[in-house]
């Protein structure tokens, strides 16, 4: 196949589905340019597609960025590039493979479901919506996440994460389930919640004090926490056809110490009284 993008649209039971096949390569063997793919996606959205299926995705960036149709579903077969769903407000994306960096960057609402792993900075600055990752994620998951009005973002990672989980977090919820991590080890890295001043992080598995970042603290799990985790677990189970244990004693809760985590840290003299 050459570098031609193949598209096909069918209407079945009133649902308009457009398939966009980008598995072709140019004369040098390179994947189809992300701009060409995104033009086709926007064209399908403009023509009223209810479902868009992308075949053969190989590292193309910005897929569904700034899309706003709340009824739109986009299925992605392959590996999307950075900034999947950036600034998205409404649609559902489902990736049958791995995702790369900055998935859900600054998204306002919608869902991103990933059946593989997602690499660094997942959920960067998200202010709404939900990201579910069946596998693991990298560094700085949930960095700068924030709540906006009644909108609260949430990120669930099935496996483990790297350092700086929830760094500078200002709102929303991050849940790490620790699949595949031995009970004696921790499913998260160090500097957890460094600089966080809002939101909450739940970890299923071991978390020690020395892993916490500046401004973060461990707190006991309360009834409202179990309700919040239960809702996330139920969604995770439905999305991936899995069953999760409700062994609440293995959950750790990380909260901010205050709304001003760095106050006085760099200059102990008070500027304001």
pTM of the model as a whole = 0.94
The per-residue pLDDT for range 201-220, each reduced to its tens digit, is: 999 999 999 999 999 999 99
Q: How far apart are CA 63 and CA 77, in angstroms?
A: 12
The per-residue pLDDT for range 104-151, each reduced to its tens digit, is: 999 999 999 999 999 999 999 999 999 999 999 999 999 999 998 889
Q: Which residue has the higher pLDDT, 229 or 265?
A: 229
Q: Which residue has the higher pLDDT, 4 or 64?
A: 64
Mean pLDDT of the chain: 94
Reading the block at residue 98, the tokens are 């791995």
Q: How far apart are CA 27 and CA 255, in angstroms?
A: 53
Side by side, the strands of the sheet bearing 51-58 are 6-12, 15-21, 51-58, 73-79, 89-96, 109-114, 130-133, 154-157, 170-176, 198-204, 251-256, 216-219
Cα–Cα distances in angstroms (integers) from residue 251 to residues 61, 203, 247, in the given order: 35, 6, 8
Phi-psi region of 33 (alpha: psi -120 to 50; beta: other; left: phi over 0): beta
């Amino acid at each position: 196949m050459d570098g031609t993008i193949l598209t096909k649209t069918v209407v079945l039971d009133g649902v308009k589905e457009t398939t966009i096949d980008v598995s072709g390569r140019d004369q040098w063997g390179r994947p189809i340019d992300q701009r060409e793919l995104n033009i086709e996606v926007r064209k399908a959205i403009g023509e009223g597609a209810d479902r868009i299926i992308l075949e053969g995705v190989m590292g193309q960036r910005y897929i569904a960025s700034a899309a706003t149709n709340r009824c739109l579903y986009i299925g992605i077969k392959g590996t999307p590039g950075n900034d999947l769903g950036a600034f998205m407000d409404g649609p559902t994306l489902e990736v049958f493979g791995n995702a790369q960096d900055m998935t859900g960057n600054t998204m306002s609402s919608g869902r991103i479901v990933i059946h593989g792993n997602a690499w660094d900075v997942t959920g960067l600055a998200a202010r709404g919506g939900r990201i579910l990752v069946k596998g693991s994620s990298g560094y700085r998951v949930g960095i700068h996440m924030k709540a906006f009005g009644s909108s609260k973002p949430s990120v669930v990672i099935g496996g483990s994460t790297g350092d700086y989980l929830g760094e500078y977090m200002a709102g929303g919820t991050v849940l790490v389930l620790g699949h595949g991590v031995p009970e004696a080890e921790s499913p998260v890295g160090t500097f957890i919640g460094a600089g966080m001043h809002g939101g909450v992080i739940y970890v299923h598995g071991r978390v020690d004090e020395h892993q916490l970042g500046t401004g973060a603290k461990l707190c006991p799990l309360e009834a409202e926490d179990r309700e919040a985790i239960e809702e996330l677990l139920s969604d995770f189970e439905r999305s991936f056809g899995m069953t999760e244990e409700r062994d609440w004693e293995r959950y750790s809760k990380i909260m901010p110490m205050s709304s001003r985590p760095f106050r006085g840290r760099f200059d102990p003299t008070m500027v304001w009284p």
